[in-house]
Every structure is written in structure tokens, then in C-alpha cells.
Amino acid sequence: MRVWLLAVCWLLALTGQARADERILEFFSDIKVERSGDLLVTENLRVRSEGKQIRHGLQRDFAHLYRRDDGTRTTAGFDVVSVRRDGRAEPFELSRLRDGVRVTTGRKDVVFRPGEYQYTLTYRVTRQLRAAGGQDRLVWDVTGREWALPIDKVRVRIVLPGEAPIQDAAVAGQREASGRLQEREPGRAVFVSTRVLAPGESMAVELAWPAGQVSRPGPVMTWWHGVQDRAELWVGGLGAGCLLLYYLVAWLQAGGWSRRGKTPLTEPPEGLSAPALRYVYRKGYDRWAFLSGMMELLARRSVRLRVQADGRYLERLPNQTGGDARHDPLLNGMLGRFFAGGRTLLRLDGLYRRCYDEALRDQRQWLDEAYARSLFVTYGERARKAFYLWIAMTVALVGLAIIREGSLLAWTAWGILLPLPAVPAWCAVHAQWRAGATSFVSRVVLGALALLCLAGGLAVLVTHAESLPLLLAGLAPLILLPVVCAGFPGLKGYTAQGRALRVQIDGFRRFLAHPSAASAPLDAESALARYERYLPYALALGVARRWSAAHAQARGAAPAALADMQARYGGVYDVLTRPHAVMASLDRWAARAAPVRGPRAASSAETGEGRR
């Protein structure tokens, strides 16, 4: 008997606890469709609180307000008219969700006592009606599926602005039907739930009526709504278009389509060595200009390369002018650095690297002082304006991503920003590599970090972009950033003197690319001498392959002269077929050598004493 009494008490306790759990007892939604197409919604909720989930107030989520059923985004206006609890005004705050809005009522310092409370939430929402031919249709999620509480009863009343007949009316739920149509009359429909809605379950209604009861947006407003819905595409597309158009205009003003020399010239412009020629042609300095100067020292027979059992050497030959009876300040400056202190033999080790770096620095400074102001016109201000335009586009896209997702930590925003440092890092590595200013290890480390940023950002964008157009819009800043970085050194034009000199360089380059069409046939030895004489210029202007192919017949016709030339270039690579390899080896040997900080005493091998 005692056991039965305990069981009955336990069941009664469970029953009381079940009746006292937190839940929404009634959910009544009154929806008025206005003639403007807006919805004025009044929600009356009677809830029971036990101080657990309903402790300070309610949290009403409209989580899919900005998402259509087909998955595309939409922009809808949402304005809370009033929030009342038990007939009195209740404080509330709005927060943005990824696809909607959250309304949080109450205050942190007010804790509810267990009991029932009546909430009235009134709000206005726009762009919820769908126009399809001769019908206007409303699909509305009445309760939302974000409630963590069960809902006992749901009642929905929809009132149209006129007495239009209801054509379609339906109720849909996540599982089986959760409600039914209770009343249906012209201009009015009432739906009620048929069972208790479990936590996370919603009740949605659908209603259709003949067109003409509400005003539809005109063409201009429809276009504006499309712009709002696809703001990322508009910002990315217009930003990219304006930026590219700006660069095109700036490039044309900088002489992008200026006249080029079409008449072949068989001689380089007077007074220009190979380094100076490349500097003017490229409108700037790089280490290939210096290496073409090294090749010109070899071609002029001012120096030679010697490969011995104990290492490689750069030897100074007695004829310092190269046989053309002219002194070039660039080349003589290089000789002065490599063979300072009267030495005639320089081992390609750390001292060679130090001399190499000093000669490169001196050559760059000399070329900048001699030609930069007289031959070039820079457009740095235009490049900066383009950079500001790119920043505005990037900030707009990041801001849209933050607004869409409702958080400063929006994944899409990070996907746009994260890969951007990779581009200037790689541009800096490339520029320093061309100038010979960084070591291989530093380039690898910086390049690897840039690759990680790029891969991480792309992974975030690919996984969080909702469609291919949105992915392309998010990638627009990354795609355009190389153009922006290239604009600073690239937006550079010629003065009148510079354009005249560029025409001569283009004519000489045309001759180097097609020598057979611009000169009379030569015998094998003369052709080989001409090949060596202009090889540094061909390397400087990027036509060495064509220049080499045009003189391939000299290999078998002048073996003695070819052997002498190969010996002066060290004999490591074939100068006639692989001139790039010879030039690159001079740079590679300098990069591999351990640098020395200061001058050291020259050995007998370096000074040439006792070598004969």
C-alpha cells in the first residue's frame, strides 16, 4: 500500500511539473495587407515563465526575412512599431542575423517571476508579396522555427485591403500539416493550428488573391529592388569597370599607344650601353640591366671568365675600352668596383658578391640621375587615386558582407580581406628579386606566408559564397590588386626627348629580332663578331633567342673564332645557343657566395702577381 501511495505522489508531481513548464500558450498573429504592399503584423503571445528561458523577456527571431524560398537573397524593410507586456510598453533592441532580424525584449536587471505574461509585438515589413501574372501571393512563416519552446495554440488572421475573393489558401509545416483553414471569406482568411508545435517547428501559411488590391512596384522601383538584392554584384562590377577604365585612360595619357619605331636601325642609339638601353626601354631599373652590362664587358673584351680547379675568376684584360675607342661611364664604373686597388683577377666568392652589390647600387643611382627626369614622366598621383578607388570598392564589399551576416566577424568579409596581403608581398618579392636585393630564403619564407593567406582566403570565400556571381564579386578586390600594384611603377610615360629615344630603341630592337631582313649577308667570322657585339643589347631588349637563332650557321663555319669566344665566357655554357644561361650564372654565383662586410687583403691570385 505504501508503494502505491509513493507511485501516485510521484505521478502527481510529474504532472504538476509538466503543466508548469515554460511554453507559449497562445500565439495569435493578425496580418493586415496594406494597399502599398506592406504588411502590418500584430502578434499576441501568452507565455508561461518559470525563470529559465523566459527570464528577462522574449527573443523573437525573424531568421529568414532576407532569404527567399529559392535560396536567393532579398532586402526587406522591417520596422518595429511597438512592444508591450501586460499592456505596458516594454523596452526592446534589434540585432542583425545572417538572414534576418532578432527582437530582444526586456532588461537585464529585470527578472521575471514564475507566471503567465501577455506580449503584444507590432511591426511593419515590406517586400513579402509575390506578383505572378493575375495573382498576388503571400507566403508567411507565422511563428518562425527558432523557438526553443513548444507552442500550444496558433491562430492567424489575414485581412486584405479590399473585398477580393480568396483564390488559394493553405497551411504548411516541416512535417505533417500543423494547421488548417478555419474561415474563408472575401478579403479575410483565418488559420488555426491542429496540434502542439514542438520546439523548432513552425507554421507557415500561403494565400493568393486577384491582382489589383495592392499596388505593384513600377519599373524603376523594381530595378532598384534588384540593385539592393544584388548589391555585391553591382559594387564589384561597377568598381572593377571604373577602375579598369581609369587605368585605360591613364595609360593612354601616359603614351600607351604612342608611335613606335618601325624602321630597323642597325646600330644602337649613340652613347647608350646595354644597361642604359634597357633602363630607357623598361622605364626603370632592374638587375637584368646590370647583367647586360656584365655581358657587355665580356663582349668588349674588357674582362673574361676563367674556370680553374680552385674556383671561378673574373679576369681584367688589358684592353679596357673593348676596342670601340669610347669610354662608357656605366661600364667603367663596374670595372672600378670589380678591380679596385689595382687587382686584375677577382675570385667569384664573397668579395665578388660585395663588389657586385656595390656596382649594382652605383649603376642604379647613376641611371636615375642621368635619365629619370629628362626622359620619363611619372603619374604617381593617378596611381594613388586608382588605389583609393580600389580601397573604396573593397571597403564597400566588406561592409556589405558584415551587414548581410550581421557580425563584424563575417566569414565572407574575412574571405575578402585575408588573401589581399599575398599580392603586395609577391609584388615586393618580385621587385626585389629583379633588383637582386633579397636572398633566396627570404623570398621563400615571404612567398610561403603569402600563399597561406591566399589559400585561406580563397577557401573561406569558396565555402561561404552562395553563388558563382557572388564568389566573383568577392574575388574582385583580389583580382584587381595586381593591377593596382603594377600601376605605381607602370603608369610612367616618356618626355618628348624620351619618346624620340624610344623610337630609335624600337628600331634597333626590330633589327635584332630580324637581322637577316635588315642587313647584307656577312661571312661567318664577321657574323660571329657582330653577334657578340650586339648580344648584350639583345639580352637587354628580350630578343636574345631570335638574335641567337639568326647566327646559328656560324657554329660550323668559324670554329676557331667560336672556340675563342667560348673560352672568354668561361666555357661553361654555349654562348651561341644559351646566352641567357651565361648571364644568369653571373648572378647565381653572386647569390650563392657568402657576403663579406669589408675589404680584405688581395691574394696573389687576385692581384695577378706570380701567375705567369
CATH number at residue 66: 2.60.40.1730
Cβ burial, residue 34 (10 Å; 0-12/13-18/19+): middle
Name the average pLDDT for the chain: 82
Domain boundary among 456, 490, 524: 490
Task: Decide if pLDDT at 175 tops 60.
Answer: no
When pLDDT is cut at 50, 70 and 90, the band that residue 519 belongs to is: low
When pLDDT is cut at 50, 70 and 90, the band that residue 324 belongs to is: very low
Count of the separate structural domains present in the chain: 3
Cα(492)–Cα(498) distance, rounded to whole angstroms? 11
Q: Note the pLDDT of residue 107.
A: 87
Q: Does 106 share its domain with 205?
A: yes
Q: Which three cell numbers stand for residue 207?
A: 494565400
When pLDDT is cut at 50, 70 and 90, the band that residue 188 belongs to is: very high
Cα(322)–Cα(317) distance, rounded to whole angstroms? 9
Between 596 and 424, the more confident residue is 424
Q: Does 587 share its domain with 522?
A: yes
Q: Which of 36-50, 366-380, 475-489 has the lowest mean pLDDT?
A: 475-489
Q: Does 237 share its domain with 198?
A: no
Q: Does 248 share its domain with 326?
A: no
Contact 45, 151 (CB under 8 A): no
Q: Note the pLDDT of residue 160.
A: 92
Residue 11 is assigned to a structural domain of this protein: no
Cβ burial, residue 407 (10 Å; 0-12/13-18/19+): middle
Q: Which of 45-54, 85-94, 271-280, 342-351 has the lowest mean pLDDT?
A: 342-351
Measured in degrees and rounded to the nearest 5, phi and psi for residue 29 equal -120, 120
Residue 97 is assigned to a structural domain of this protein: yes
Task: Decide if pLDDT at 564 tops 50.
Answer: yes
When pLDDT is cut at 50, 70 and 90, the band that residue 464 belongs to is: confident
Q: Does 426 share its domain with 562?
A: no
Cα(176)–Cα(433) distance, rounded to whole angstroms? 67
The string of pLDDT tens digits covering residues 470-516 is: 778 888 888 888 888 888 777 888 888 988 999 999 999 999 988 87
Q: What's the rounded mean pLDDT across residues 66-73?
A: 65
Q: Which of 23-32, 246-255, 276-285 has the lowest mean pLDDT?
A: 246-255
Q: What's the rounded mean pLDDT across residues 555-583?
A: 81
Q: Which three cell numbers stand for residue 16?
A: 504538476
Distance of CA 588 to the CA centre of its chain: 33
Q: Note the pLDDT of residue 12.
A: 45
When pLDDT is cut at 50, 70 and 90, the band that residue 583 belongs to is: confident
Q: How many residues does the chain have?
A: 612
Edge-to-edge strand ranges of the sheet holding 345-347: 303-308, 311-316, 345-347
Q: Note the pLDDT of residue 602.
A: 43
Q: What's the rounded mean pLDDT across residues 91-118?
A: 88
Task: Decide if pLDDT at 14 tops 50.
Answer: no
Q: Tell me, what amino acid is at 403? A: I
Domain boundary among 490, 515, 549: 490
Between 518 and 302, the more confident residue is 302
CA-closest candidate to residue 367, choices 279, 293, 287, 491: 279
Q: Which three cell numbers stand for residue 337?
A: 668596383
Residue 342 is assigned to a structural domain of this protein: yes
Residue 604 is assigned to a structural domain of this protein: no
Q: Which of 59-68, 87-96, 185-194 has the lowest mean pLDDT?
A: 59-68
| Residue 512 CA neighbour count, 13 Å, CB half | 25
Q: Does 108 share its domain with 149?
A: yes
When pLDDT is cut at 50, 70 and 90, the band that residue 434 belongs to is: low
Q: What's the rounded mean pLDDT across residues 255-260?
A: 64
When pLDDT is cut at 50, 70 and 90, the band that residue 82 belongs to is: very high
Q: Does 400 share its domain with 548?
A: no
Residue 45 is assigned to a structural domain of this protein: yes
The domain containing residue 238 runs over which residues? 230-252+380-490
Residue 239 is assigned to a structural domain of this protein: yes
Q: Does 448 share its domain with 485?
A: yes
Residue 319 is assigned to a structural domain of this protein: yes
Q: Does 457 share its domain with 558?
A: no
Q: Which three cell numbers stand for residue 597?
A: 662586410
Task: Decide if pLDDT at 3 tops 60.
Answer: no
Residue 123 is assigned to a structural domain of this protein: yes
Q: Does 337 share its domain with 433?
A: no
Q: Does 412 share its domain with 369?
A: no
Q: Note the pLDDT of residue 406.
A: 67
When pLDDT is cut at 50, 70 and 90, the band that residue 520 belongs to is: low
Cα(480)–Cα(468) distance, rounded to whole angstroms? 18
Q: Does 193 share its domain with 328?
A: no
Give the predicted TM-score (pTM) of the model. Answer: 0.65
